[in-house]
Each structure stands twice: as C-alpha cells, then as structure tokens.
Amino acid sequence: MTTPNLTEDLARRAIERSTGNRKVAYEHEIERIIEATYQVIEKTGSFDPSLREILKLTKLSTQTFYRYFQSKDELLVVVLDDGRRQIVDYLRHRMSLAPNPQGQVRAWIEGVLAQAKDPVAASRTRPFVVSPDRLAEAFPDEMRTSRDRLIEILAEAIGGVRRASAADTWRDAEAVYHLTFGTLHEHLSRRSAPDADEVEHAVQFALRSLT
C-alpha cells in the first residue's frame, strides 16, 4: 500500500488555484507560512495558533494566505502532515540501520517515543497529539492518509516478522501504532519522557504479540 505525500498534494492543489507564472514564489510563500506556523505553535504550545501571529512572522497579507488555504484548519492539516512526513523520513533512516525486521519494529517504536525526549520535537508535536480531534472530523480522508504513512512503514517491517495476510499485517501495525502513540500522548500531555525501561517494555510487548 502506497500513501501519497499529502503535504505536497494539498500544496499543489493550492498553487493550482492560483494562476500565472509565479509557481516558485508561491511555493516559497507556502513554505514560509508552514514554518511560521511551526514557530507559533512551538512558542505558544497552542493547537489554535493565531493567524495574525503567523502572518506577522511571514510578512504576508491575509489575502495572500487565502490564496493558498481555504481556512486555518486546512493549514493545520498541511502542517501536521509535514511533521508526520519528517517523522517518517526519520523512522525510515533508523529502520534502515536495523539488522532484521524485529530490529526495524524496535527502531520504529524507539523512534516514535524519542519525540517526547527531544525538546524541539516535543514542542512541535505536543499540540497535535494532545489536541481535540477537530481536524479528523473536518478532514477525515486527509488525516487518515497522513496517519497511514506512519503505519505503512511499520507494516512493511511486521511483514518480515511473521507470515500473515496483508490485512492482518496492517491490523497488527495499527495495534502497535496505537500502543506507541498512546504512550507518546501520555508523556507529551505530562511534559515528560519515557525512560529506557518503559521503551524496552513497549518494544518487548509488541514483539511478543507479533511472534
């Protein structure tokens, strides 16, 4: 199963709504808006960053913002997906260093939980992990696609751990996803980080369940 790059897809759709030959400039402006949103979220810890603050950082106008995004929630979906895409790249790298599929599963779990230990990653991730599910209600397909990218790389590893149908492998990956992100949610909510014993317990529990 291959999931599209939601960030690029939404950005492309936004650009296509604009006309003219300023595509490069438009892409640059979208990148500025996304990065400014990260900065405001990191600074305030709020899932509902001020659009005024975002535009102040970018030095762009409200009119320019609505050229690309129909609403602030649409922007937040793009920012969330961009963050998840970065995590996927980070996890893929960790998993590529593992000697076997079991090691890849371990690398995935450890990599996700490491988000709570890194101050910058935690401050950027926390609002999205602990926030209400309004984005999932407003953008169910986009949010599912974004989430599935994380599950997909885990399912690839699990497929090497045990022989099962594609459907069962995906369900196993979803179970490990919920276990791991539930732990991450708890620690981000408490502004804490899992210790080595807790991470190891999560890894062993997942591997025992799979084998």
45: left (phi over 0), alpha (psi -120 to 50) or beta: left
Closest to 101 (Cα-Cα) out of 5, 49, 176? 176
The rounded mean pLDDT for the chain is: 89
How far is it, in rounded angstroms, from Cα 11 to Cα 175?
31
Residue range 96-150, pLDDT digits in tens: 999 999 999 999 999 999 999 998 888 888 877 776 577 888 888 888 998 999 9
Least confident stretch, 52-56, 134-138, 202-206: 134-138
Angle in degrees, CA 66, 61, 16, rounded to 5? 35
Q: What residue type is assigned to position 206 of the chain?
A: A
The pLDDT value recorded for residue 18 is 59
Convert 27-58 to b/e letters by CB count within 10 Å (16 or more is b).
bebbebbbebbbbbbbeeeebebebebbbeeb
Q: What CATH class is the domain 6-210?
A: mainly alpha
Band of pLDDT at residue 9, cut at 50, 70 and 90? confident
- Percentage of residues in the chain with pLDDT exceeding 90? 62
On the 0-12 / 13-18 / 19+ scale of CB atoms within 10 A, 151 is buried
The pLDDT value recorded for residue 21 is 54
**Domain assignments of the chain as residue spans, ordered by start:** 6-210
Residue range 149-165, pLDDT digits in tens: 999 999 999 999 988 99
